Amino acid sequence: MSYGFNPDDIELPNYHFIGGQKVVGGGAEIAFHRPSDGRQVATFLSADAATVDRAASDAQKAFESSGWAQAAPSERAAVLKVWADLIDRDRIRLAQLEATSTTRPVLDMINRDLVRGAGAVRYFAEWADKVEGQYLAGRAGTTTLVRPEPYGVVGSIAPFNFPAINAIWKSAPALAVGNAVVLKPSELTPYSAVAIAELALEAGLPAGLFNVVLGAGETGSLLVRHPYVRKITFTGSSATGGRVMSDAALSGPKPVTLELGGKTPQLVLRDVDDLDMVAGHVAAGLTANAGQICTAGTRLIVPQEFEAPLLDRVIALAAEKVAAATWDEACTLPPIISERQAARIDAMLAETVSDGAEIVIGGSRVASRNEGAFYQPTILRNVPDSSVGFTGEFFGPVMSVYSYDDEAKGIAMANHPTYALAASVYTNDLRKANSLSQTLNAGTVWINTHGRQPDFSTPQGGFTGSGFGKEMGRAGLESFLRFKTIWQNHG
């Protein structure tokens, strides 16, 4: 069966979704450009203060009056399971909408993103009736209880990469434990969040519990600062994460979960005997979603004697990638999200090269594509630690390679001074792998693999400049709960 399609046939939901209704209105007009061909095909109105207030107020009313938080957990779980079934039912439609308006290829959406999205909804549905409080032993005549409760209204801000998955990850666990949600997707990829929220309403979620407001940074700031919003979850750049923290502190304060940037090392040790395996993971870490992944493997650290043979393998695998529109089944190298972001990558590369770095392959746009911002897989060598190529996040298909003669030096290079989101280690020595998993400064450490697995029970999130707090797993669920202590005196 062919899944390619004409993007001009796809209707874009150019509206906010508030209180279970389509809302057209707000502030400034934002032009939407399709990433794969750069064409402006729509406009929408950014949510202004009045629109954000309406969404937050509707969410608060629904939280207070719908009975969702007080419902039996099994009832909430039942609604979420229907929601997951509807995502499965509409998988083709959602995949085509996402492939039209984002960097996600249609086949990846059908076979991966939406399968995992529906799976995540089912995972958190199963958690709904397993949230536990505590009974604490005390002196005679007293009882102490610790009771988990939802915050109320959760403000969620999602990034432009993997929009559908992020919309689900930032709403399903919050809803499972009784919260209401106001979600702001990226202004670059606004549409799948609206469609997913509409399916939640169809599944039986009370109107007003899942709202979507479209807009850019000011809309996000209005959402974070709104007095009804009691908890924030944000995924995006470290710089924007800092502004989110500031807004939350000055308007609450209110708790924040942040998943921010990364400079993930892929550390290869000398005892590895399967360079083909390593090359497969390294190439995927370079090219997946055109490098627009916060855990992209952007720093390859390898023994000197392995550098040439490993790079030969990685370069050959990268050359197989096909730059094509995301609605084309052949696409295995999607576009950069926007011309502005591609120009940013160009500028960072130029500055890094002027500082002394050498381009091994790539370093420019894909010459055969004269529409969309497609970028060649790029490998750099001799990147100075003081250069923006080391200190900054390209968020494109750019990887720097570093060789070492002494293993201790290679291990030391793996820790970055700013970012600590994830790390990959390739070794045949499991004792060494276990030791490194403890010493590496990273929120996630992969051994002999790279990239997030389709396992919803594993929490993820970074340290230091890569953020704090966790998504997914039990920890991700509990991040949407506050814990109340109750003292009872029977004396």
Q: Which residues are catalytic?
A: 170, 259, 294, 471
Helical H segments across 273-368, by residue range = 275-287, 304-319, 339-354
Q: Which two tokens stand for residue 327?
A: 């609605």
Give the single-character DSSP code of 471: B
Torsion, Cα 161 162 163 165, to 10 degrees, reads: -150
On the 0-12 / 13-18 / 19+ scale of CB atoms within 10 A, 315 is: middle
Residue with tokens 């790029």: 378
Residue with tokens 């450490």: 445
CA distance to 47, 174, 457, per residue, from 244 (Å):
17, 19, 27
Question: What's the 3-state SS for 268-280?
Answer: ECCCCCCHHHHHH
Give the single-character DSSP code of 365: B
Would you say 423 and 442 are in contact if contact means Cβ atoms under 8 Å apart? yes
Residue 292 CA to chain centroid, in angstroms?
10
Would you say 275 and 313 are in contact if contact means Cβ atoms under 8 Å apart? yes
Q: Which two tokens stand for residue 112?
A: 């991966």
**Residues 6+ away with beta carbon under 8 Å from 382:** 356, 357, 358
| Most distant CA atoms of the chain, gap in Å | 82
Would you say 339 and 403 are in contact if contact means Cβ atoms under 8 Å apart? no
